[in-house]
Structure 1
Amino acid sequence: MKTKVAIIGSGNIGTDLMIKIMRMSEVLEMGCFVGVDPESDGLKRAARLGVPITSEGIEGLLAMPDFEAIKIVFDATSAGAHEKHDRILREKGKTIIDLTPAAIGPFTIPAVNGMDNLDEVNVNMVTCGGQATIPMVAAVNRISPVIYGEIVASIASKSAGPGTRANIDEFTETTSQAIEKVGGAKRGKAIIVLNPAEPPLIMRDTVYCLVGPGADTQAIEESVQQMVTEVQSYVPGYRLKQSVQFESIGNNAPLKIPEMGDEFTGTKVSIFLEVEGAAHYLPAYAGNLDIMTSAAFRTAERIANRHHQKEAA
Structure 2
Amino acid sequence: MSRDTPAPTKVAVIGSGNIGTDLMIKVLRLSESLEIAAMAGIDPGSDGLARARRLGVATTHGGVEGLVAMDEFTDVGIVFDATSAGAHHRHDQVLRPLGRTLVDLTPAALGPFVVPPVNGTDHLDAPNVNMVTCGGQATIPVVAAIGAVTPVHYGEIVASIASRSAGPGTRANIDEFTETTARAVERVGGAARGKAIIILNPAEPPLIMRDTVHCLVSACATEDITASVEEMADRVRTYVPGYRLKQRVQFEPVAPDDPLRGLLPPGATGPALRVSVFLEVEGAAHYLPAYAGNLDIMTSAALRTAERLAAHRTAQGEPR
TM-score when normalising by structure 2: 0.94
Structure 1 residue corresponding to 2:162, chosen from 142, 156, 162:
156
Task: Judge conservation of contact 2:153–2:263 (CA < 8 Å) in 1.
Answer: no
Structure 1 residue corresponding to 2:85, chosen from 73, 79, 82:
79
Q: Distance in 2 between matches of 1:263 and 1:36?
A: 54
Q: In the superposition, relative to structure 1, how do residues 280 and 259 fare at CA in structure 2: closer, same or farther (>3 Å)?
A: farther
Measured after TM superposition, the shift of residue 216 of structure 1 is 1.1
1:173-192 aligned within 5 A: 173-192=179-198
Q: Distance in 1 between matches of 2:262 and 2:132?
A: 25
Which residue of structure 2 aligns with residue 111 of structure 1?
Answer: 117
Which residue of structure 1 aligns with residue 101 of structure 2?
Answer: 95
Q: Residues 119-144 of structure 1: CA distance to partner in whole angstroms, max 9, x if unpaired?
A: 11000000000000000000000101
Q: Residues 228-276 of structure 1: CA distance to partner in whole angstroms, max 9, x if unpaired?
A: 0000000000000000000011314452558989998500000000000
Which residue of structure 1 aligns with residue 232 of structure 2?
Answer: 227
Q: Distance in 1 between matches of 2:277 and 2:116?
A: 20
Q: In the superposition, relative to structure 1, how do residues 258 and 210 fare at CA in structure 2: closer, same or farther (>3 Å)?
A: closer
Task: Judge conservation of contact 1:35–1:57 (CA < 8 Å) in 2.
Answer: yes
SS at match of 2:316: helix
Over the residues paired in the alignment, what is the CA RMSD in angstroms? 1.8
Which residue of structure 2 aligns with residue 217 of structure 1?
Answer: 222
Structure 1 residue corresponding to 2:246, chosen from 226, 241, 244:
241
Q: Distance in 1 between matches of 2:162 and 2:59?
A: 30
Letter in 1 for 2:300: S
1:1-313 aligned within 5 A: 1-213=7-219, 215-255=220-260, 266-311=272-317
Measured after TM superposition, the shift of residue 202 of structure 1 is 0.4
Tell me which stretches of 4 or more aligned residues in structure 1 moved more than 4 Å.
256-265
Measured after TM superposition, the shift of residue 67 of structure 1 is 1.3
Q: In the superposition, relative to structure 1, how do residues 87 and 244 fare at CA in structure 2: closer, same or farther (>3 Å)?
A: same
Letter in 1 for 2:175: D
SS at match of 1:66: helix
Task: Judge conservation of contact 2:11–2:34 (CA < 8 Å) in 1.
Answer: yes
Q: Distance in 1 between matches of 2:9 and 2:25?
A: 16
SS at match of 2:215: strand
Task: Judge conservation of contact 1:97–1:125 (CA < 8 Å) in 2.
Answer: yes
Q: In the superposition, relative to structure 1, how do residues 257 and 281 fare at CA in structure 2: closer, same or farther (>3 Å)?
A: farther
Q: Distance in 2 between matches of 1:197 and 1:263?
A: 42
SS at match of 1:242: coil
Q: Distance in 1 between matches of 2:264 and 2:172?
A: 25
Provide structure 2 residue ranges, at least 5 long, that are not aligned to the other structure. Answer: 1-6
Q: Residues 75-133 of structure 1: CA distance to partner in whole angstroms, max 9, x if unpaired?
A: 00000000000111111100000000000000000010001111110000000000000
Provide structure 1 residue ranges, at least 5 long, that are not aligned to the other structure. Answer: none
Q: Distance in 2 between matches of 1:201 and 1:107?
A: 28
Q: Distance in 1 between matches of 2:282 and 2:226?
A: 22
Task: Judge conservation of contact 2:153–2:265 (CA < 8 Å) in 1.
Answer: no
TM-score when normalising by structure 1: 0.97
Q: Distance in 1 between matches of 2:266 and 2:19?
A: 39
